Every structure is written in structure tokens, then in C-alpha cells.
């Protein structure tokens, strides 16, 4: 599985050094940083803008009867509704699994029986420093009330997993990080189906 | 395919109105905007920070002998090398297919025989306004020189498509938008393989 492919040329991209960091804007859930960077070999310096923030977590949560837990909410970036897995910003020092269980419970009232990390992705290596961790929560049932922030309104959807994948390819689900969660869950789901 | 699942509660998230927009920082490839928003029903106003930028494009490019064209480059957000499909920021008024062909050619010197849009995703609906378009370029061959920006250094990798998917699940490929490109290409690749 973990074979790694050889390069097909002799280019070796260099790691630039960061000479200085200046905060350009503090935006609550992220900071905008201007970095002055230097290429270690070429005589070259440049400024790059990046966002620094805590890591994020997404929960692929499935019920005992094979439904996926999705929520739809208004998003201020796109100014539109967005259908997504549950998730959010991790608290300082929080473990990804704990964070995923907390977000699922707060957003939907569902609590799972088992949870494990499926993988971690980089939301945008060019301009973001952080990771998004993707956690699988199985055996999820509605055990409690939701605990939304003042600004949150979340509509709950419980498609079958198959229907969730149909919504990927019909363009109903477009959130990049939710699509990552579904990509990493795909082999687990297929293996489970094969076992039936 | 395009069936849509019903909601499992009676929550209807409202679309907030944008009352004002203030630019907090101009960061070359994006602007940081503070939006003052109002919930249309509740007596509630709040500020939200978002990034505005042009749309992005990613190219899933494959060669006639079934290899995927990937590049590895240093990324200033993560301060690490990142293995990715080719892509970038679209020019004003540019068509996604044109933009994908331009980025592939500039970054690798490869030119394809056929190209079509696989889909469009939202890099981050919570804090970004833009879309990332994913274009499939088939029959790609190296026909010209690369045309890198002054700061670019790209190492070329040509794994088989199967090896590219192995690198998704081994954690070698972690860029969220490259993972989206591979997710949208998966059914096309499987259908082509089935046809052999």
C-alpha cells in the first residue's frame, strides 16, 4: 500500500526559510500572517500571506442502521446553505477523537459507540498551516439534546451511506473537507459491505 | 443518481443578510473581509471574517499509458513539501478548462488531447467565497518546456492511477483539493478500467 513513486526529473524543491512573521489581521478563528521567506540557495526573498489557526476536525458518523449523519447550515463564506458532516475547530490540547465526539454531540445530539482516526488532511497547504483530522464514529444514536452556539441553526439529514455518495457525484455535497471525509471512509464502508 | 434526502427534523436554517463589508487585509491572492451580518428573523447581528479570491482550478491529468501527472512543491502555509495535481488561481474571465490546460502546461510542459469539467467544489464554505473547479485532461503528453513563476520549483511524479490512489490511503497525498480531484475522477477511472 505505502509504495512511493519515484520522481521523473531531477528537480528537488527547496524548503524556504521563514525570516519574519507579522500579523496582518486577527480574525477570531484565524490570524492572517505575512511571512518574509528566503530561498536557501537562490538569491531570492519574498512575502507570503498565510492563515494560522487551530486544527479542525470532521466526524464521519454512522448509525447502527447504516445512515450517515449530515447537517445543513448557512455558511458566511459562500452565503449559501451547505450540507456537511459535523465538525469544527478543535480546542487547545484536545484530542481529535474527543473533539469529533464533542462536535457530533453538540451539533446533533448523537453519541457513538466506537471512534477512530481515519486520517488527517491539509485544508490548503499554500495558505493554511493547519490540519483537518477525520474521525469515524460508528454506532451513533441520538441520546441527548443539541447544544448550538447562538449563531448556529443546523438541519439534520440521515441519508443511507450509499445516498451520501450519490450526493457527492450529483453535486449536492460540495464542501471540500466533507468530501475528504467521504473519500477516507470509502474503503471502510466497502469492506463492511463486503462482509455482509 | 440525483435523488435528494429529506431532512429528519423541522429546522430550516435561515440565510443571513450581509449589512456591510470591510476589507481588513489585502493579501495579493486573497482579501480578508469582515462582514456584518443579520439573521432575518431573530434579533441577532454578528461579524464574520471571510476570504475573497478568484476561483481556483485543479487538473486531473492522465497520460495515454495510464499515469497521473502530479507535482511536488514547497508550500508556505504548511512549510513543507506537498504532492498535488497541477492547478492554480484562475485569471479573470478565464474558463475552467482553459485555466486547467494553462496550469498543466506551465507547471509540467504536458498538453492533453481532451478536457472536460468533472465538477466544482467549495474549498471552505465557512470562510471562503470561491469555488475550485476540477477538470479532467486525458491523453496528456510532454510537448513543451515548463514556464514557472520566479518562486516555483516543481518536481514531477508520474505514478500509475492505482499508485496515486494508494498514496491517498497511505497518507502520502494530503492536500484537500487534490483529494477532491481524485474523488471526482474515481468513477471515471473505474468505468474506463471496466471497459478494458
Closest C-alpha among B97, B179, B87 to residue A175: B179
pLDDT at A1: 39
**In a domain? residue B146:** yes
Query: Could you tell me if B124 and B30 lie in one domain?
Result: no
pLDDT digits (tens, 9 = 90+) for A108-141: 999 999 999 999 999 999 999 999 999 999 999 9
Closest in A27, A37, A154 to B13, CB measured? A154
**In a domain? residue A4:** no
Mean pLDDT along residues B159-174: 97
**In a domain? residue A40:** yes
pLDDT digits (tens, 9 = 90+) for A1-14: 345 677 888 899 99
Query: Could you tell me if B124 and B63 lie in one domain?
Result: yes
Mean pLDDT along residues B159-177: 97
pLDDT at A2: 41
Query: Which conformational region is residue B186 in: left (phi greater than 0), alpha (psi within -120 to 50 degrees), or beta?
Result: alpha
Query: Could you tell me if A116 and A161 lie in one domain?
Result: yes
498565510: which residue's cell?
Answer: A50
pLDDT digits (tens, 9 = 90+) for B182-196: 999 999 999 998 865
How many angstroms separate the CA of residue A191 from the nearest CA in chain B? 14
- B89/A contact by beta carbon, under 8 A: no
**In a domain? residue B70:** yes
Q: Which residue of A has its CA nearest to B119?
A: A171
Final residue before a domain boundary, out of A7, A29, A52: A52
- Interchain proximity A72–B174, CB inside 8 Å: no
**In a domain? residue B138:** yes
Closest C-alpha among A70, A69, A95 to residue A82: A70
- A85/B contact by beta carbon, under 8 A: no
- B159/A contact by beta carbon, under 8 A: yes
Q: Which residue of B has its CA nearest to A142?
A: B8
Residues of B in contact with A123 (CB under 8 A): 123-124, 176
Q: Which residues contact B43 (CB under 8 A, 6 or more apart)?
A: none
DSSP string for residues in chain B: ----PPBSS---PPPPEEEEEEEEEE-SS-EEEEEEEE-SSSS-EEEEEEEE---EEEEEEB-TTSBB-EEEEEETTTTEEEEEEEEEEPPTT--HHHHHHHHHHHHH-EE-SEEEEEEEEBS-TTTB---EEEEEEES-EE-S-----TT---EEE--BHHHHHHHHHTTS--BHHHHHHHHHHHHHHHHHHHH-
pTM over 0.90: yes
Residues of B in contact with A78 (CB under 8 A): 122, 125, 128-129
Query: Could you tell me if A183 and A170 lie in one domain?
Result: yes
Query: Could you tell me if A72 and A107 lie in one domain?
Result: yes
- Interchain proximity B179–A180, CB inside 8 Å: yes
% of chain B with per-residue pLDDT over 70: 97
- A114/B contact by beta carbon, under 8 A: no
Query: Could you tell me if A47 and A65 lie in one domain?
Result: no
Q: Band of the pLDDT at B177, cuts 50, 70, 90?
A: very high
pLDDT at A174: 98
pLDDT at A5: 73
pLDDT at B5: 73
Query: Could you tell me if B110 and B169 lie in one domain?
Result: yes
**In a domain? residue A187:** yes
pLDDT at B78: 97
pLDDT at A6: 77
Half-sphere exposure of B30 (CA within 13 A, CB side): 28
- Interchain proximity A74–B16, CB inside 8 Å: yes
Strands B45-52, B141-142: parallel, antiparallel or unpaired by DSSP? unpaired
Provide the domain count of chain B.
Answer: 2
Query: Could you tell me if A33 and A75 lie in one domain?
Result: no
Q: Which residue of B has its CA nearest to A168?
A: B184
pLDDT > 60? residue A160: yes
Mean pLDDT along residues A132-152: 95
**In a domain? residue B62:** yes
Residues of B in contact with A8 (CB under 8 A): 156-158
pLDDT digits (tens, 9 = 90+) for A38-95: 999 998 999 999 999 999 999 999 999 999 999 999 999 999 999 999 999 999 999 9
- Domain harbouring A67, CATH code: 3.90.79.10
Query: Could you tell me if B42 and B125 lie in one domain?
Result: no
Task: State ipTM.
Answer: 0.96
Please state at what angle helix A161-169 crosses helix B176-195, rounded to 10 degrees.
90
Closest C-alpha among B121, B17, B117, B20 to residue A179: B121
The whole domain housing B167 covers 56-195
Query: Could you tell me if A113 and A148 lie in one domain?
Result: yes
**In a domain? residue A10:** no
Query: Which conformational region is residue A134 in: left (phi greater than 0), alpha (psi within -120 to 50 degrees), or beta?
Result: beta
How many angstroms separate the CA of residue A147 from the nearest CA in chain B? 14
pLDDT > 80? residue B1: no
pLDDT digits (tens, 9 = 90+) for A172-193: 999 999 999 999 999 999 999 8
Query: Could you tell me if A105 and A190 lie in one domain?
Result: yes
Closest C-alpha among B166, B146, B183 to residue B71: B146
Query: Could you tell me if A115 and A29 lie in one domain?
Result: no
- B176/A contact by beta carbon, under 8 A: yes
Amino acid at each position: 500500500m505505502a509504495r512511493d513513486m519515484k520522481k521523473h526529473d531531477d528537480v528537488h524543491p527547496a524548503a524556504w526559510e521563514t525570516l519574519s512573521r507579522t500579523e496582518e489581521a486577527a480574525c477570531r478563528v484565524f490570524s492572517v500572517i505575512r511571512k518574509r521567506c528566503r530561498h536557501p540557495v537562490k538569491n531570492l526573498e519574498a512575502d507570503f500571506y498565510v492563515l494560522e489557526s487551530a486544527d479542525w476536525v470532521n466526524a464521519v458518523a454512522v448509525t447502527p442502521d447504516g445512515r450517515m449523519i449530515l447537517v445543513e447550515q448557512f455558511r458566511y463564506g459562500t452565503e449559501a446553505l451547505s450540507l456537511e458532516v459535523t465538525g469544527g475547530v478543535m480546542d487547545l490540547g484536545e484530542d481529535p477523537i474527543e473533539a469529533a465526539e464533542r462536535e457530533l454531540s453538540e451539533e446533533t445530539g448523537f453519541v457513538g459507540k466506537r471512534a477512530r482516526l481515519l486520517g488527517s488532511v491539509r485544508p490548503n497547504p499554500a495558505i493554511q498551516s493547519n490540519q483537518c483530522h477525520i474521525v469515524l464514529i460508528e454506532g451513533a444514536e441520538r441520546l441527548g439534546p443539541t447544544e448550538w452556539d447562538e449563531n448556529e441553526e443546523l438541519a439534520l439529514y440521515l441519508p443511507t451511506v450509499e445516498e451520501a455518495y450519490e450526493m457527492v457525484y450529483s453535486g449536492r455535497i460540495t464542501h471540500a473537507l466533507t468530501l475528504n471525509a467521504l473519500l477516507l471512509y470509502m474503503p471502510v464502508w466497502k469492506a463492511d459491505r463486503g462482509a455482509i
